[in-house]
Amino acid sequence: MEIGGFELITAGSGEALERLLNYEVDIAGFHISDPLSSQVIAKRLKSEGMQIFPVMKRVQGFMVAKGNPLGITSVKDLVRPRIRFINRQKGSGTRLLLDTLLKKNGIQAESIKGYVNEEFTHSAIAMSILAKKADVGMGVKSVAIENGLDFIYLKDEFFFLAMG
């Protein structure tokens, strides 16, 4: 898609950074939720002569049906047999955050019903929940509110732009 003479490519954080480091794009936007990752990424980008600019903060959490009928409160609830999860695609900042939380809590991805089912946007996650194809998925608070879903806070993330 072209906007104002620029080609816009939508991608997850991992893919955006990979494209930037491979000189396929001039600017990449990406999210980071933990300070250690931000230090590692910043060091790598700066070693390649790139600049990083903080842009905004977003709030990540679980989106669930209004009233939270299954009582989901934490990542540990995802392993309950009745819970159907919808995931973000590999390489997205949201997926990286989920995988970090699973590891921190000793949860195997295979134990989550629907972990392999992927969507590419927060809005698509919300639509899956509204269509009752899933009970829970990770996304940003603003999308949950826009779609009349309940939101369970997990973590703040920061969005950056990097360019060479």
Q: What is the DSSP string of 18-33?
A: HHHHTTS-SEEEEEE-
- CATH 3.40.190.10 residue ranges for the chain: 59-155
Q: Which residues in 102-132 are b (16+ Cβ under 10 Å) and which e?
A: beeeebeeeebbbbeeebeebebbbbbbeee
Beta partners for 29?
161
Residue 1 has a pLDDT of 84
Predicted TM-score (pTM) of the model is 0.82
Res. 46: pLDDT tops 90: yes
Q: Report how far residue 72's alpha carbon sits from residue 107's, in angstroms, rounded to the nearest whole number.
A: 16
Residue 69 has a pLDDT of 99
Beta strands in the chain (DSSP E): 2-3, 6-7, 27-32, 51-64, 85-88, 118-119, 136-140, 150-163
Q: Report how far residue 73's alpha carbon sits from residue 136's, in angstroms, rounded to the nearest whole number.
A: 11
Residue 93 has a pLDDT of 84
Domain 59-155: homologous superfamily in CATH = Periplasmic binding protein-like II (3.40.190.10)
**Residues whose CB is less than 8 angstroms from the CB of residue 101 and which lie 6 or more positions away in sequence, other chains included:** 75, 154, 155
Query: Mean per-residue pLDDT for 99-104?
Result: 96
Amino acid at 143: V
Res. 26: pLDDT tops 90: yes
Q: pLDDT tens, 51-83?
A: 999 999 999 999 999 999 999 999 999 999 999
Number of H helices, E strands in the chain: 5, 8
> Which of 30-34, 104-108, 155-159 has the largest mean confidence?
104-108
What whole-number percentage of the chain has pLDDT above 90? 84
